[in-house]
Structure 1
Amino acid sequence: METHFETLVKGLYEKANKIITIFLRENHKDGNSKINIPKDFKEEFFSLVDKVNLSLMEDKDNFYGYFLFQMSREIRFDISSPTAVNFKGSKYVVYFNPIIFLTLTIKQMESTIKHEILHIVSMHLIRAKECKVEYGTLAVNMAMDVVVNTYLDHLPPYATTLEWVNLNYSLKLLPFESFEYYAEKIQTAIDLLEEDEDAAEDDSNKDEKIETDYNPEKTHDIWEDSSDIDEKTLKEFTEKFIDDSQKGNIPNYLESMISSLKNSKAELPWNLYLKRLMGTVESNQKKTITRRNRRQPDRFDLRGQLRSHKAKIVIALDISGSISDEEFNQAIKEVFNIVKNYNHEITIIECDSEIRRVYKVKSVKDIKDRMNIRGGTKFTPVFEYANNNKVNLLVYFTDGKGEDKLLSIPRGYKTLWVISGRGDKLSLKEPYGTVKKLNTIEIKDNTLYTSDLMRDGYSMNNQEVSHV
């Protein structure tokens, strides 16, 4: 006999399918691109979510219930998982796809909500961006899911678990490792598959507004819609959510995660971030007979590929700002140290309210004395130059004081803003890039990634004893 909860779920599922049917019919007629979700459906659906939340708050892991209570809630039919999260305004938002969510039992519903909250506590929304510099979206998504699902019971049958990854990719990964470790191993396994990328199923005709099945490669796409917020601020918001959710005892693994978050450094220094960013510079490929094809190494008739592209890097210096010659010279030395292993071309732009001088450099010795001009500051001219010169990477040193809106939007390149140690923040409301503070941190090439991962303090190596 069905319980009241099961009857409620069944009725909502039928209504959700009706909403989709109406949308597809209307969209076919007039090209309407917005799904109309009736108010009564939203109220009934979120009433069911309240029941799940109540169950969480009554559980020994009531931390998750109190955390969910603080989050905003929205319905999205275009996410390819039961739930998803991002950060909007000053709150975390949890999204539900009713078509997928309503196929779960109440315990599985609880687990998928816990899953999203563990991503937040692990600061995956930030760490994934850095990890995607080196690895593909699928590998990063599966690696993060492996980490958080290790601690959850009652998972949906399609959940990405350590056992599933080991079985499907012929791996022998151990539990309680960092997600960066899993990402590297999974990416290697993906690269070794003999499936040609072009053989992937073509789903171009699928309606982009509706997802009815779980897709691990797209589960965290909604993270890209998060508000543009720096790592330090997001960490502070996350700690507040956590503090307001701790109303009793919490599991050992969760306590350890929270401790790691609070003891970790707020953000990656600008120079270490720049080194990560260099890995994203697009490179053209040239064929070579000396290297086998990565995806099909046994095919001797297929040639491998090598990078042949010269990265065009622009270093913009705001000569009207408060950055000193000493600060800039030290920063430039670090830039050269970072890019030395890449085929690169560096252009220096001196600017204030307009571009005053442009010249190329091959070493620190080529840096010229700064022009003695102290006008106002406008960022737009530099972006106009970059847009017209096929730049790959723009690093802008400034005190941050300029326009509040760019008149020329960056096209096809990465931007890193480095704010002078005496500067406060960037005046732009939308920076179209990452904003970092200038500080003097020594770089050692051979310790970057090891120290950076240890910096996070999220490795699960110390969690095994406390696993519940």
Structure 2
Amino acid sequence: MKTYFNNQVNGLYENANKIVNIFLDASYRDKNVKLDIPEDFTQEFFSIVDKVSLSLMDDKDNFYGYFLFQMSREIKFDIGSPTAVNFKEAKYVIYFNPLIFLKLNIKQMESTIKHEILHIISMHLIRAKEFKNGYSTLAINMAMDIVVNKYLNNLPPYATTLEWVNLNYSLKLLPYEPFEYYVENIQTALNLLEEDKDGVEDDSNNDNEIETDYNPEKTHDIWQTSNDIDEKTLHEFTEKAINNSQKGTIPVYLESMIASLKNSKGELPWNLYLNRLMGTIESNKKKTVTRRNRRQPDRLDLRGELRSHKAKIAVALDISGSISDEEFKQAIKEVLNIVKNYNHEITIIECDTEIRRAYKVKSTKDIKDRLNIRGGTKFTPVFEYANNNSINLLVYFTDGKGEDKLKIIPHGYKTLWVISGRGDKLSLKEPYGAVKKLSNVEIKDTSLDLSDVVRDGFSMNNQERIL
């Protein structure tokens, strides 16, 4: 049976090469010619996929087999990996490149299908889009592949693993860390390699319609063709597919990933959302003489640019009395913990109707006691400060009660509003950013009258760590 399967795969691989060669010969004469995949080839190829699917059904990890059963299938010779996924017409689609997929044995075929499903469960199709402005495609792809491949055996020999990245980029990355940790460190390593190279940066895209070998920089290109859908809706479709796939026991790691997805309800807590934002902010640029200017490569007097990956973060605190000291102290500790791997500059801004104080912090020891001023609340002064000081990210802690319209429109940075436990909603009609809430914490009373103690407020200690 195994010999018959291998012979069928080998014969199909030869046919795939014939189809591609016919296309390449025709496209040499006519650039507008389209790749024609014969129907009999398609049927035979998917009979191979059916055998892999049945093998997954019989395996202890039959979750993957049931999940695959719900997906549409297509053949694409232009993807740089054996398989790829995206979301089309209210369902997930899995694509196969026969020239790469048919080189694998059946166990490796299973692993590459599992690989794509783990990307889906990890909501990587959404997260990749959010990080593309701050990091290179290669760094994002490798970081996401490290996250999912750590759970898989029988990987193809070229698979991006933690060990491979550490060896090839002289890194010491730790296992089982979140995606943000990997993408930041990999991007830093890539920047150092670029800095050592002389010449013009190559931003050109290869539009070749045929991919014959694995290409880590193009493995997830097809994610960009997914239907434009909001995270909450995609989350609901994913959870439905997961529920339909749980027909028996599943591995512990899958239980953890699924629980994290379901508990989020499509709405990330403020601290996890901040963790995500850290990977999307565009850091300041630093000049380099080792790279020519991209727009004018012949001008040797103009210096090129590299990401310095040191962005300016402003943490604004409404000191009008709406947020307790306990809430803010816990929140700022959370902020410092999240950004510690990013080497970013943090400025704390205390504001009511105007900015009362702004100072930089590197650790919790630098946090000053809050000023004892209790006025009204205006948001505009903080945004004026951010606009004038090249801020990359503004995190604003408030009860949400202030102006209904900003007098100054923010530009050039992202904003995250964090509403205190006693707050209801943000008064602004246009927040120019995401609005999140804190979660409950007991607030300590500093007065002598115990009847005035308020037992509400919010904490970040119960938040779940991102996968």
Pick the TM interval, shorter chain.
0.5 to 0.7
Partners of 1:331 and 1:89 in 2: how far apart?
42
Equivalent in the alignment of 2:102: 102
1:171 CA drift (Å) = 1.1
Q: What does 1:260-299 align with in structure 2 at a 5 Å threshold?
A: 260-267=260-267, 276=277, 287=287
1:155 maps to a residue whose letter is L
Supply the distance in 2 between the matched residues of 1:130 and 1:332 (Cα, whole angstroms): 27
Deviation at 1:207, TM superposition (A): 5.7
- 1:209-260 CA-to-partner distances (Å, cap 9, x unmatched) read 1001111111001100000000000000000000000000000001100001
Q: Does 1:252 align with 2:252?
A: yes
The one-letter code of the counterpart of 2:219 is: T
How many Å separate the matches in 2 of 1:392 and 1:137? 22
SS in 1 for 2:258: helix
Instruction: Provide Cα deviations, 1:293-343, integer angstroms capped at 9, x if missing partner.
Output: 699xxxxx9967589xxxxxxxxxxxxxxxxxxxxx988678657656427
Give the TM-score normalised by the residue count of structure 1.
Answer: 0.64
Who is 2:241 aligned against?
241
Give the alignment of 1:46-445 within 5 angstroms.
Answer: 46-193=46-193, 194-196=195-197, 198=199, 208-267=208-267, 276=277, 287=287, 305=305, 339=387, 341-342=389-390, 439=435, 441=437
SS of residue matched to 1:244: helix
1:91 and 1:197 mapped to 2: Cα distance? 46
Contact residue 57 and residue 65 of structure 2 kept, 8 A: yes
Does the CA-based 8 Å contact 2:180-2:279 persist in structure 1?
no
- The residue correspondences of 1:454-465 to structure 2 (distance < 5 A) are 457-459=465-467
**Quick check: 2:56–2:64 contact (8 Å CA) kept in 1?**
yes
**TM-align CA RMSD:** 4.5
Q: Where does residue 41 of structure 1 map in the other structure?
A: 41
Question: 3-state SS of the aligned residue for 1:160?
Answer: coil
| Secondary structure in structure 2 of the residue aligned to 1:191 | helix
Normalising by structure 2, what TM-score?
0.64
Q: How far apart in 2 are the matches of 1:125 and 1:278?
A: 15
Which residue identity lines up with residue 45 of structure 1 in the other structure?
Answer: F
Give the number of aligned pairs: 350
Q: 1:176 Cα deviation (Å)?
A: 0.8
Partner of 2:326: none
Q: Answer whether contact 1:265 1:455 (CA < 8 A) is retained.
A: no
For the 8 Å contact 1:122–1:458, the answer to whether it is kept is no
Is the CA contact (8 Å cut-off) linking 2:80 and 2:215 kept in structure 1? yes
- 1:144, CA displacement in angstroms? 0.8
Q: Per the alignment, in what secondary structure is the counterpart of residue 215 of structure 2?
A: coil
Q: Does the 8 A contact of 2:72 with 2:93 survive in 1?
A: yes
Q: Contact (CA 8 Å) 2:391, 2:413: kept in 1 or not? A: no
Whether contact under 8 Å (1:281, 1:392) holds in the other structure is: no
| Partner of residue 378, structure 1 | none
Q: Cα 1:66–1:128, aligned 2, differ >3 Å: closer, same or farther?
A: same
* Shift of residue 184, structure 1, vs aligned partner: 0.9
Q: How far apart are residue 175 of structure 1 and its match?
A: 1.1
Aligned-partner residue type, residue 16 of structure 1:
A
Following superposition, the deviation at residue 34 of structure 1 comes to: 1.6
Alignment match, 2:366:
none
Q: SS of the counterpart of 2:156?
A: coil
**Maintained 8 Å contact 1:104/1:156:** yes
CA drift at 1:71: 0.2
Deviation at 1:439, TM superposition (A): 4.8
Long gaps (5+) in structure 2: 293-300, 308-376, 393-402, 416-425, 439-458
Q: Give the aligned partner of residue 432 of structure 1.
A: none
Amino acid in the other structure paired with 2:16: A
Aligned counterparts of 2:66 and 2:427: Cα–Cα separation in 1: 39
Q: Relative contact order: is structure 1 or structure 2 higher (C-alpha 8 Å, sep ≥ 6)?
A: 1
State how far apart, in whole Å, the 2-side matches of 1:213 and 1:228 are. 29
How many angstroms apart in 2 are the aligned matches of 1:172 and 1:41? 45
Partner secondary structure for residue 34 of structure 2: coil
Tell me the distance in 1 between the aligned counterparts of 2:110 and 2:139.
25
From the superposition, tell whether residues 2 and 67 of structure 1 become closer, same or farther in structure 2 (CA, over 3 Å). closer
How has the CA–CA distance of structure 1 residues 160 and 279 changed in structure 2, closer, same or farther, with 3 Å as cutoff?
Answer: closer
Q: Does structure 2 retain, via aligned residues, the 8 Å contact 1:134–1:279?
A: yes
Quote how far apart the aligned CAs of 1:169 are.
0.8
Inter-CA distance 33–294: structure 2 relative to 1 (3 Å threshold)? same
Partner Cα distance (1:159, 1:183) in 2: 17
**Deviation readout 1:20-45 (Å, 9 max, x if unpaired):** 01101111122234210111111110
CA distance in 2, matches of 1:117, 1:229: 18
**Pair member with larger Rg:** 2
Deviations 1:183-212, CA, capped at 9 Å, x for gaps:
1111111112254274788987x6621001
Conserved in 2, the CA contact under 8 Å of 1:13 and 1:99?
yes
1:394-414, Cα deviation, whole Å (9 max, x unpaired) = 99xxxxxxxxxxxxxxxxxxx
Unaligned ranges ≥5, structure 1: 296-300, 308-328, 345-363, 370-390, 396-419, 424-434, 443-450, 460-468
Cα distance change of structure 1 residues 422 and 60 upon mapping to structure 2, 3 Å threshold: farther
Distance 1:75 1:15 in 2: 14
Alpha carbons of 1:28 and 1:79: their partners in 2 closer, same or farther (altered >3 Å)?
A: same
- Give, in whole Å, the separation in 2 of the partners of 1:230 and 1:436: 17
Given the superposition, is the C-alpha separation of residues 302 and 168 from structure 1 closer, same or farther in structure 2, using an over 3 Å criterion? farther
Identity fraction in percent: 62
Give the conservation status (yes or no) of the 8 Å contact 2:146–2:161.
Answer: yes
Distance 1:127 1:157 in 2: 26
Contact 2:142 2:216 in 1 (8 A): yes
1:163-186, Cα deviation, whole Å (9 max, x unpaired): 101110111112111111111111
One-letter amino acid of the structure 2 residue matched with residue 258 of structure 1: I
The question of whether the paired residues in 2 share the 8 Å contact of 1:13 and 1:102 is answered with yes
| Alignment check: 8 A CA contact 1:64 1:117 kept | yes
Corresponding residue of 1:311? none
The amino acid that maps onto 1:165 is V
